[in-house]
Each structure stands twice: as C-alpha cells, then as structure tokens.
Amino acid sequence: MNISAKSKYAVRALVELAQHNGDQPVPIADISARKDIPLQFLEQLFSSLRKAGILNSHRGVRGGFSFKRLPEEVSVLDVVEALDGSVAPAACTVGAPCDKKDHCAVQDVWMDAKTSLESVLSAATIADLAEKESMMYTSTEEMYYI
C-alpha cells in the first residue's frame, strides 16, 4: 500500500497550518507558497479535509483555513484515511470476500502490516510534527561561532 502524494502534501500543509494557526484563519495561498505546493492542488486537498471534519474554511478578506479539531487530535492516519481511504496492503485486510481465506498463509502477514502501519500513523499527530519541525528550524538557527 502506497500512501499517495495527496496525503504526503496534505500532511506537510497541515503542519504549516498548525505552526501558523492562531486567532485568524491562515490564507491557503500562504501555505501554498511556504510549502511549494500548487495552489489549485492544495485547494482540492483542503476541500476534502474540510468535508472530513478536519478543517474549517473561512470566506472573506481575512479568510483562509483553520483546524476544526485541535492539531493534537488530528493524526496522520486521519489525514491518510480522509484522502486515500483505508491503509490496506491487501483486500482481505478490509473484509473483502476472498475464496482463499481459509488456505492463505500470507493473510496474517497482511493483517500485521496493516495493524503496524495504522499504529505508526495514528501515533503521529499534526501537532507533534509541527513541534518537531519547529525544533528542527530552531536548532539550525542557533549555531554559535567563536
């Protein structure tokens, strides 16, 4: 199972939104420019994330996007599932009918892979990633020379 480019770009954009999300919505053009994501593509992603209940959109001069749920409550898994659907390495891991189910030695491997991937993606929140990225920038800026 490959995680799509949509999900990868969306996570990057949400991290940016979390870093700049205050009292005012953040204009999508700002996020697009800072993360070098084409604006029309980002608009489509954010529209899907709004429909999934992750984001709010605000119209007008001071419009933009904000989180509907706290960034601490939005996992990478939430984003991937909103844009790509279930993280399923095989059809049998999402309950699809399989005539080989009773004689398939690899079904357990696919289920373990699905469970592991879901565990990793659900443990990482947008807030965690935003904090980590902020720390990365801070650590590179604080170089002292004598």
E strand intervals along the chain: 55-58, 64-67
Q: Which residues pair with 125 in a beta bridge?
A: 75
CATH classification at residue 104: 1.10.10.10
How would residue 93 be classed by pLDDT, with cut points 50, 70 and 90?
confident
What is the identity of the amino acid at 117?
A: L
pLDDT tens digits along 115-143? 999 999 999 999 999 999 988 877 655 55
d(CA 115, CA 118): 5
pLDDT tens digits along 22-36? 778 999 999 999 999
Residue-number span of the structural domain to which 92 is assigned: 5-141
Contacts of 95 (CB under 8 A, 6+ apart): none
Q: Is residue 146 a part of any domain in this protein?
A: no
The total number of structural domains that make up the chain:
1
